[in-house]
Each structure stands twice: as C-alpha cells, then as structure tokens.
Amino acid sequence: GESVGLHLPTLSVQEGDNSIINCAYSNSASDYFIWYKQESGKGPQFIIDIRSNMDKRQGQRVTVLLNKTVKHLSLQIAATQPGDSAVYFCAENRGNDMRFGAGTRLTVKP
Amino acid sequence: ETGVTQTPRHLVMGMTNKKSLKCEQHLGHNAMYWYKQSAKKPLELMFVYSLEERVENNSVPSRFSPECPNSSHLFLHLHTLQPEDSALYLCASSQDPVSGDPNNQPQHFGDGTRLSIL
C-alpha cells in the first residue's frame, strides 16, 4: 500500500556538523509535506512545511528539499546542536488526513 | 508553550475501568484529531473532527468513543480497554481548508497522555 517512510531509523552526528534526514513517499498526489520533531516525553513539534509547487524552503537552521520526480523529501539541519537530538517525522497530506513516517532518531554527539 | 493541552499526562487503568482523555486547543483552529502512538510505529490516526463534526473514524474499536462539544475541546472516552491499547494518545488541531481553499495548514500537537492498561 501507499506509505510514508524514512530511509534510516537512526542518525548520529557530531555537534556542529550538518544533519540530513531523508524521507520517501509513494503518493504522487500528495501536495503538502511537513517535518516534525519529537523530543522525549513531548508531542510532535512542527518544524517546517513545503507545498508541492516548491522544491526548497528554508527556515532558521533548517532547509526542506522536495524532489517530486523521485518522491523524496529531506530535512537539513545546519550546525547541529545537542538540543536537536530527537525523533524526526515526515508527513504527507492526503485530503483530510496526514500520513506519518515511523521517524528517524537523531543523536548529536558532543 | 504548546497551544494544545492534554490531560491527564499519565493514566493507568484496569481493563474494566472507564476514563476520559481531555484535549483543549487555544489556537482558534476548526479541526481536531486523535492519534495513537505506539513504540516504533508511525502515528495512527483515530478520529478527525472538522467544524465539530466527525469526518473520519479509522476503523477504531468501539471501546474508544470521541466527543467534540465545541471547536476548542475534544474528549476520548475509554471503556473496557485491552493491554494492546497501552500507548501514547496524542491530540492535534489545525485550521482546515474551507470553501475550497486549498492551502493546507500543519497540525499542532499536544504532549499526549501516556496510557497504561493493566
């Protein structure tokens, strides 16, 4: 069936390095994508979103790239900090509901 | 500080108990959601309310009963739950497109209720 998935379940980076978290989606009709961050004991927190009429969007230290040709979404975090350690989810919007990936756990090493 | 508040944060109950989870959003949104989050699994959508009307029920067992008395409040009534229902239950809200407006908006989540069924 159609699904939103992540390439890697875990990612470990050195503090100060850039992080790239990837996501694959299979529904070419999806037109809206979101990245969430979930810290331990908390709910998912909105990071950044992108619509299908764009291929790149930048926020504060974060960039989302959308490649509709290969149905791929990525989240880039610049100068990763210890506070960035969390599980990151991508989500695609399909009509009235959101479909989430299982998440990638990002660990930042000091 | 989250605009979506969930209570209680933790709940332990026996299989024969009846309890309710509460969610309140202070964001002025017109849609609210219940999700179930189990370990190492994607978020599972349970219920969707838009303009206080239930628009989706993802084949959720009847032992889970939602209630949306107004656009700011959402409840999940629990009755005769099973051990496999132990999970984190998340509430979310969003400003849904209306009147054909295609601009989707992100969902904003509360911090969840950690439910344990004995």
Q: Print pLDDT tens along chain B (118 aa).
A: 459 999 999 999 998 889 999 999 999 999 999 999 998 788 999 999 988 788 777 789 999 999 999 999 999 999 999 999 999 999 999 987 665 555 678 999 999 999 999 9
Q: Which of B90, B96, B102 sits opposite A43 (nearest CB)?
A: B90
How close is the nearest chain B Cα to the Cα of A50, in Å?
A: 10
The candidate with the shortest Cα–Cα distance to A49, out of A90, A79, A78, A83, is: A90
CA distances (Å), A86 to each of A42, A55, B37, B52, in order? 10, 25, 16, 33
> What is the separation, in whole angstroms, between the first and last Cα of chain A?
40
Measured between beta carbons, the chain A residues lying within 8 angstroms of B4 are 43
What span, in angstroms and rounded, lies between the C-alpha atoms of B29 and A33?
A: 19
pLDDT at residue number A8: 52
pLDDT at residue number A58: 97
CA distances (Å), B63 to each of A7, A67, B39, B82, in order? 35, 42, 21, 9
pLDDT at residue number B5: 97
Q: Give pLDDT tens digits along chain A (110 positions).
A: 334 554 458 999 999 999 999 999 888 888 899 999 999 999 999 999 999 999 999 999 999 999 999 999 999 999 999 999 999 999 998 766 678 988 999 999 98
The candidate with the shortest Cα–Cα distance to A49, out of A41, A39, A59, is: A59
pLDDT at residue number B41: 83
Asked if B40 lies within 8 A of A102 by C-beta distance, the reply is yes
Q: How many CB atoms lie within 10 A of CB A84?
A: 19
pLDDT at residue number B7: 97
Asked if B45 lies within 8 A of A41 by C-beta distance, the reply is no
pLDDT at residue number B103: 66
pLDDT at residue number B102: 57
pLDDT at residue number A12: 95
What span, in angstroms and rounded, lies between the C-alpha atoms of A82 and B47?
A: 35
